[in-house]
Amino acid sequence: MKKVLIVINSYSISENIIYKSTRLKEELLKYKIESDIVKANQLLVKTKGNELDLEYLTDYYFAIYLDKDNYLAKAISLKIPLYNNYESLILSDDKMLSILNLYNSNIKAPLTISCPLCYIDEPKVDEVKLFLDDVEKALSYPMVFKLTHGSLGKQVFLINNRKELEEYYSMYKKVPHIYEEYLNYHIGDDYRVIVVGDEVIASMERVNKNDFRSNIALGGKGYDVTNTLNDSYKQLAIKAAKCLKLDYAGIDIAKGKDDEPIFIEANGNAFFTEIEKVTSINIASHFIKYILRKEKIID
């Protein structure tokens, strides 16, 4: 009898990961479908180019991927359907790629500058100065620094002056990162909108009174706005999820001048512990139903 594979990270087993994987498992059981929750390091990718040692995946209908290991995601997707799909994971996990893929979509995002690739220890001082001068001129202070790959707001920092700009560049010059316009209209306040397919399932306002980052993991609190959020925000979330080819997404949106929605980032592996709690909406059920219908397992 076929089952469903739920893949989680090898090393980071947080309460949110346990909650999400367990909830998905519970919803699958309602359809009499068993699932295995498996750590990524139990699924080593072994390939010779024309051979791929993941044959046992024939025992599964599909995989729900709750990790960020792109190599494993690609390997699984060569064997069975993957949710989210491999391409969407690439686009949503890289913050700069996400913004670039909104081009011509009529979705507004903060002014963002990517750091040029650097793979040497000591780049020329004049070249670094030229780049940092351009960043400073375009964004002024304060500005936001982000690693292109990260989650829970832990790789996001505020830069207040030239000294800090130089320090962050020096620390992270060999790591892909971006510099972003600081939105001072609603500091520590944004919206997390959950999209499944072409539908907004739930919306939560996140407010952090002690940090410019609104993340729940950093002390933010969630409030249900599913029925009150302006429709323009919901439409932006649906459009952004489409641009990034996401079946399931948590789209973060800030409020700009005149209540204009501004795309902040997309999360293809968005946790839903807090938003299920504050909205009383069964997000796991919506996601499982969507997948089962897409795979023609249910009508």
Q: Are 80 and 61 in contact, with CB atoms under 8 Å apart?
A: yes
- Confidence bin at 152 (pLDDT 50/70/90): low
Average pLDDT of the residues of the chain: 92
Least confident of 113-122, 135-144, 181-190, 208-217: 208-217
The number of angstroms, rounded, from the C-alpha of 211 to the middle of its chain's C-alpha atoms is 20
| Long-range contact pairs involving 30-34 (C-beta distance under 8 Å, separation at least 24) | 30/285, 31/288, 31/292, 31/297, 31/298, 33/3, 33/4, 33/61, 33/292, 33/297, 34/1, 34/3, 34/4
pTM: 0.93
Residue 86 vs residue 50, higher pLDDT: 86
- Give CA–CA dist 114/254, Å, rounded: 20
Q: Is the pLDDT of residue 1 over 80?
A: no
Place of tokens 């375009």: 138
Tell me the mean pLDDT in the region 266-278.
93
Instruction: Tell me what pLDDT residue 184 has.
Output: 81
Question: pLDDT tens for residues 22-65?
Answer: 999 999 999 999 999 999 999 988 898 888 888 778 899 999 99
Q: Is the pLDDT of residue 188 over 80?
A: no
Q: Is the pLDDT of residue 187 over 90?
A: no
- Give CA–CA dist 84/78, Å, rounded: 14
Helices and strands, number each (H, E), in the chain: 9, 13
Tell me the mean pLDDT in the region 9-15.
89
Instruction: Tell me what pLDDT residue 153 has.
Output: 64
